[in-house]
């Protein structure tokens, strides 16, 4: 009977996968829902009688995982980049002009793959030998959250690919909630007296980030793929045109956007933009613009990347929605660096898919320029469909008796004086860590992923610790006990122990992470890394004067002044000492001796490295005395070119700079000797 059961199970799975493909990918079902359900019921019953025949890729196993405590982290094999935005026809024409100039001689118009810009959640799905192995969110582009169990629960995502699947295929796409499904779900929630969702995007994002995949499975989610990351052992890796790649993905059983097409030149792009814009309200899914991608792969590779976005693609956004509402108050918020920011409190109004009740006014110069006053009728727009902003004041509707908004003389949180330095638009609270608002934001920054990466130390916990005056500086985090944390609101013993462990783990860090976490004004990741490479250890940086700091490559006078002022403050120096007393440590970054193996050589890293990150490779080179620069010049000795290297590689070739690959870099680091020029 087992052989017969196995044959029937195989047949049922094949039939269900076929009908899933017809329904979700081709949108052309062959059987009614009742017949599909009958097949699924029969399969479940057979598998229940023969559990030894159940496999992870069975259609019955979409929801089988237990609820999670938290999401794991996934490092993307290929970074998930964002796209440059355009907001006008001129922006699209400029994009096309830049592409043509960089490509040189182009015979006729460039072919662009054009597709709607889905308003959902970007997801990467990895298939190994055709079977879904892992799924993750975009996150910061380099690292995302592991949401495999939830993505498996989405019916439109195949658990097993059709046909001859690659040994490894990483698919990129968008999880979204179709409009009709969203409306049905909200109606059902309202009927039960439960809270409804504001828009499909929020509903989709919330569903994917549920710790219980059964909740995800109950939501009407869909998935469109629009690209790939890594492909191994397959002819698919040799795709020549993006439009052909989408066809190959459809053949594998992956759904793509049915409105995707190929157009000729920028005029074709703008015609597609107009057509999709007119059809927007009738589409089955929400979009916030369209995307143009150079169709030819060899041209994509020649165009390369700029910063964190490809030069061969543009997101042409639709105009932001604008509505009118009233300003009920202007309040002032205090940020991590003490910046006192005016915020307009508004009569709640629905715009761009969300209810908006406040909007930033940026700074007092902006308040004066727009002359925003309490009682005014203002036009509100969600810039880029995200950040609410005051576009203009309807001065003709202004009621009598209004007054210009004045900058407070003292901090609304701690009462410390508010100062505005000459030449700066931003006013600041002088309270430092004495100000609870600054302390809260500083602690959030200190614990953030790119700084000390203290998992579990979120806003709710920080707010409670600051309100109780238990944590007055980052150093106090390392004195917290499990019992103290467990006593906080909505914290159990297990969560408290996890947080204690995460805080303990953060004691072992790197100098760039520490410098970033300290929250020095104008010091981001790149500057923190440059300072660490130049000074090697924090003691040398603390003892440096402003002129010495200004001598660091890529550090300008304004940043140098902020860094020098930070370490001139005795409270900040005491913070460093306290962190060390509590066990925080980091390796020295630079071997500064003149006879260091790579002293006097300048390297530039470009493209994606397989074995290490560029940051890790740069730190390793700097530890051997090399200078690692961000741009190529005649003074550059070596350019290390990884996969998908862009403009830096082109410039190196034009200047005659030596180009080495990752294997050569690995040998240099292993041998610890000066490479021969």
For the annotated catalytic residues, the residue numbers are 117
* Neighbouring-strand partners of residue 111: 264
Residues in CB range of 667: below 8 A, 6 or more apart:
none
For residues 200 and 289, the answer to whether their CB atoms sit within 8 Å is: no
For residues 132 and 123, the answer to whether their CB atoms sit within 8 Å is: no
Position of tokens 């964190």? Answer: 308
Burial of 493 (0-12, 13-18, 19+ CB in 10 A): exposed
Q: How far apart are CA 465 and CA 455, in angstroms?
A: 16
DSSP secondary structure of 556-598: -HHHHHHHHHHHHSHHHHHHHHHHHHTT-B--------TTSTT
Q: How far apart are CA 87 and CA 515, in angstroms?
A: 36
Give the SS3 label for residue 620: helix
CA 137 to chain centre: 8
Position of tokens 């097409």? Answer: 261
Q: How far apart are CA 667 and CA 675, in angstroms?
A: 9
CB atoms within 10 A of CB 453: 17
Q: How far apart are CA 142 and CA 81, in angstroms?
A: 8
Q: How far apart are CA 570 and CA 411, in angstroms?
A: 22
Question: Which among 147, 127, 128 is positioned nearest to 137, based on CA atoms?
Answer: 147
Q: How far apart are CA 451 and CA 449, in angstroms?
A: 5
Rg, C-alpha atoms of the chain? 28
Position of tokens 């923190």? Answer: 528
Q: What are phi and psi of 659, to 5 degrees?
A: -115, 130
345 dihedral zone (left: phi>0; alpha: psi -120 to 50; beta): beta
Question: Which among 132, 157, 154 is positioned nearest to 220, based on CA atoms?
Answer: 154
For residues 454 and 465, the answer to whether their CB atoms sit within 8 Å is: no
Sign of CA dihedral 429, 433, 436, 439: positive
For residues 99 and 485, the answer to whether their CB atoms sit within 8 Å is: no
Give the SS3 label for residue 110: coil
Residues in CB range of 646: below 8 A, 6 or more apart:
303, 304, 305, 306, 311, 606, 607
Strand pairing class (131-137; 121-128)? antiparallel
């Amino acid at each position: 009977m087992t052989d017969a059961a196995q044959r029937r199970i195989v047949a049922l799975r094949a039939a269900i996968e076929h009908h899933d493909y017809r329904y979700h990918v081709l949108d052309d079902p062959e059987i009614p829902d009742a017949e599909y359900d009958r097949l699924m019921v029969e399969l479940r019953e057979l598998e229940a009688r023969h559990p030894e025949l159940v496999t992870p890729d069975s259609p019955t196993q979409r929801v089988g995982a237990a609820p999670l405590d938290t999401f794991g982290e996934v490092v993307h094999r290929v970074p998930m980049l964002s796209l440059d935005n355009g907001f006008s026809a001129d922006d699209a024409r400029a994009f096309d002009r830049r592409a043509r100039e960089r490509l040189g001689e182009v015979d006729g118009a460039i072919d662009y793959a054009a597709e709607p810009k889905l308003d959902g959640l970007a997801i990467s799905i990895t298939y190994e030998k055709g079977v879904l192995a892992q799924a993750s969110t975009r996150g910061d582009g380099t690292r995302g959250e592991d949401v495999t169990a939830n993505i498996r629960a989405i019916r439109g995502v195949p658990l097993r690919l059709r046909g001859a699947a690659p040994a490894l295929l990483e698919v990129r796409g968008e999880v979204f909630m179709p409009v009709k499904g969203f409306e049905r779900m909200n109606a059902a929630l309202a009927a039960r007296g439960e809270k409804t969702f504001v828009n499909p995007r929020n509903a989709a994002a919330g569903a994917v980030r549920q710790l219980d995949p059964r909740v995800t499975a109950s939501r009407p989610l869909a998935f469109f793929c629009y690209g790939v990351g890594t492909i191994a052992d397959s002819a698919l890796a040799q795709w020549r045109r993006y439009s052909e790649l989408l066809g190959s993905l459809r053949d594998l059983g992956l759904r793509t956007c049915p409105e995707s097409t190929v157009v000729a030149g920028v005029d074709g792009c703008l015609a597609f933009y107009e057509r999709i814009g007119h059809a927007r309200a009738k589409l089955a899914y929400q979009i916030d613009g369209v995307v143009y991608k150079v169709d030819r792969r060899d041209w994509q590779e020649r165009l390369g990347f700029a910063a964190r976005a490809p030069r061969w693609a543009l997101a042409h956004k639709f105009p932001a929605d604008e509505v009118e509402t009233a300003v009920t108050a202007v309040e002032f918020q205090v940020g991590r660096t003490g910046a006192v920011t005016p915020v307009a409190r508004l009569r709640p109004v629905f715009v761009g898919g969300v209810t908006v009740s406040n909007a930033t006014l940026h700074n007092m110069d902006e308040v004066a320029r727009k002359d925003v006053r309490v009682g005014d009728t203002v036009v509100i727009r969600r810039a880029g469909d995200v950040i609410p902003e005051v576009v203009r004041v309807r001065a003709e509707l202004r009621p009598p008796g209004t007054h210009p908004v004045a900058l407070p003389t003292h901090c609304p949180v701690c009462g410390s004086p508010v100062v505005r330095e000459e030449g700066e638009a931003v006013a600041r609270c002088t309270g430092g860590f004495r100000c609870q608002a600054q302390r809260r934001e500083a602690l959030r920054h200190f614990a953030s992923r790119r700084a000390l990466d203290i998992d579990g130390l979120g806003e709710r916990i920080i707010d409670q610790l600051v309100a109780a005056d238990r944590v007055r500086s980052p150093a106090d985090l390392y004195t917290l006990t499990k019992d103290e944390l467990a006593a906080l609101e909505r914290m159990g013993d297990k969560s408290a122990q996890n947080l204690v462990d995460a805080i303990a783990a953060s004691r072992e860090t790197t100098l760039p992470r520490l410098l970033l976490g300290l929250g020095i004004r104008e010091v981001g990741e790149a500057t923190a890394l440059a300072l660490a490479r130049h000074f090697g250890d924090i003691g040398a940086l603390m003892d440096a004067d402003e002129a010495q700091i200004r001598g660091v490559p890529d550090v300008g006078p304004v940043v140098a002044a902020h860094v020098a002022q930070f370490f001139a403050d005795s409270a900040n120096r005491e913070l460093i000492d306290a962190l060390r007393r509590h066990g925080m440590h980091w390796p020295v970054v630079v071997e500064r001796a003149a006879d260091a193996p790579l002293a006097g050589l300048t390297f530039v890293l470009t493209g994606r490295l397989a074995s290490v990150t560029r940051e890790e490779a740069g730190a390793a080179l700097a530890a051997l005395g090399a200078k690692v620069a961000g741009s190529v010049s005649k003074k550059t000795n070596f350019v290390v070119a990884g996969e998908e290297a862009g403009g830096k590689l082109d410039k190196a070739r034009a200047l005659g700079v030596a180009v080495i690959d990752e294997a050569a870099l690995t040998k240099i680091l292993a041998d610890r000797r000066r490479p021969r020029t």
